[in-house]
């Protein structure tokens, strides 16, 4: 896919105040560690995650998403009347219905002519929203659109700790399948896309690719929807090693297709922002793609895996810290359970008409 008229006008992030260290989680899992003789420090050692953050108990994703989207709108010089579509793309939602996007739309006081809906696709929901909004802008259906989401992992992590401690029949292998859940953190992100003539910055969305290898859909699954019956196992189980191998293999196949779609050489990529899973995943991904790891901007050590908002939160923080310069070719590389890959290329502040 290629775009000619779409710009990434603003990104915004909201981080929770409460910090929970990996050592704090392991201290609460002392009964399990002692029973199975698991070494202390394995959570941080295996993932590189020192800490993650949680929103206060009872927080509603839609309320936080509205605050984050407001930040993105504040950074841009466009009228709210120009926002023609709002997509809420995180795994966490306020209710099964109505769409969480409805509450966000109401709080932002966006126009009634704005298309409002939720998208759910594990860790790629917000990136899927970006593609959908970009297509609408490219077709001339809307002049601007917002993609936003909030992942609040407190409940699933708390429930997993509780169940691992209560169920003394769990084997080491079963505990390991719940391990990925303990890496989760909370955060919120928003992305504002506009038609190029509205842009102040000319951060051009060049294009990208998507690839699905759904033969691996079983490698990471949550519990069944509570409306059709719950389960007694932890709320999410993951074959972490299998998921890493399959995800990297899918990304390796997709990467040349991405370069062809955006018209770049790998050596021309100046900065990457990726889905944040763990230190081993980052190393394996960049080795497989043949990219220098120095061009990546990681946040996983202090945010953990924040699901569908991980990549845009990381991009927002990196931009705030000045790691992206005008004229940089920026790659957003998303890999989600399913397995799905979505990669997008952005020419940041296109100072030259021919760049990209």
User: Which residue shows structure tokens 């009872």?
Assistant: 58
For residues 249 and 173, the answer to whether their CB atoms sit within 8 Å is: no
> Which helix (H) or strand (E) is 257 found in, with range?
helix 240-262
Catalytic site residue from 7, 92, 123, 347: 123
The single-letter DSSP state of residue 21 is E
Both tokens of 31, joined, read 């009964």
CA distances from 182 to 50, 140, 162, 238, 268 (A): 12, 43, 12, 11, 36
Sign of the C-alpha dihedral, residues 59, 150, 282, 239? Answer: positive
Active site residue 123: yes
Q: Which residue, 55, 61, 57, 54, is CA-closest to 89?
A: 61
Residue 97: active-site member: yes
Alpha carbon distances (Å) from 3 to 75, 170, 204: 23, 50, 8
**Cβ atoms of 321 and 344 closer than 8 Å:** no
Which of 97, 197, 226, 265 is flagged as catalytic? Answer: 97
**Positions marked active-site:** 97, 123
């Amino acid at each position: 896919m290629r775009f000619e008229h779409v710009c990434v006008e603003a990104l915004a992030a909201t981080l929770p105040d409460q910090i929970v260290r990996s050592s704090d989680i392991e201290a609460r899992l002392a009964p399990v560690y002692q029973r199975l003789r698991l070494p202390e420090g394995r959570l941080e050692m295996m993932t590189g995650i020192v800490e993650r953050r949680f929103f206060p108990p009872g927080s509603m994703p839609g309320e936080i998403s509205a605050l984050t989207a407001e930040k993105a709108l504040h950074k841009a010089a466009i009228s709210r009347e120009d926002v023609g579509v709002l997509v809420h793309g995180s795994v966490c939602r306020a209710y099964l219905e109505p769409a969480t996007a409805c509450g966000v739309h109401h709080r932002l006081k966006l126009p009634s002519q704005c298309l409002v809906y939720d998208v759910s696709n594990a860790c790629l929901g917000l990136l899927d929203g970006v593609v959908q909004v970009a297509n609408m802008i490219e077709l001339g259906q809307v002049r601007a659109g917002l993609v936003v989401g909030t992942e609040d992992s407190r409940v699933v992590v708390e429930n997993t700790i509780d169940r691992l401690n209560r169920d003394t029949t769990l084997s080491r292998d079963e505990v390991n399948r719940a391990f990925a859940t303990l890496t989760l953190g909370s955060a919120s992100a928003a992305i504002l896309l506009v038609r190029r003539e509205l842009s102040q910055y000319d951060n051009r969305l060049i294009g990208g690719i998507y690839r699905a290898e759904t033969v691996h859909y079983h490698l990471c699954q949550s519990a069944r929807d509570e409306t059709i019956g719950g389960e007694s196992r932890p709320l999410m189980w993951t074959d972490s090693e299998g998921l890493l191998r399959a995800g990297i293999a899918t990304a390796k196949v997709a990467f040349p297709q991405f370069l062809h779609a955006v018209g770049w050489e790998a050596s021309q990529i100046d900065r990457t922002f990726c889905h944040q899973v763990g230190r081993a995943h980052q190393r394996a991904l960049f080795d497989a793609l043949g990219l220098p790891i120095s061009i990546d901007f990681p946040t996983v050590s202090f945010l953990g895996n924040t699901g569908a908002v991980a990549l845009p939160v990381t991009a927002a923080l990196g931009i705030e810290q000045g790691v992206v310069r005008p004229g940089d070719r920026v790659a957003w590389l998303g890999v989600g359970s399913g397995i799905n890959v979505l990669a997008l290329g952005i020419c940041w502040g296109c100072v030259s008409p021919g760049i990209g």
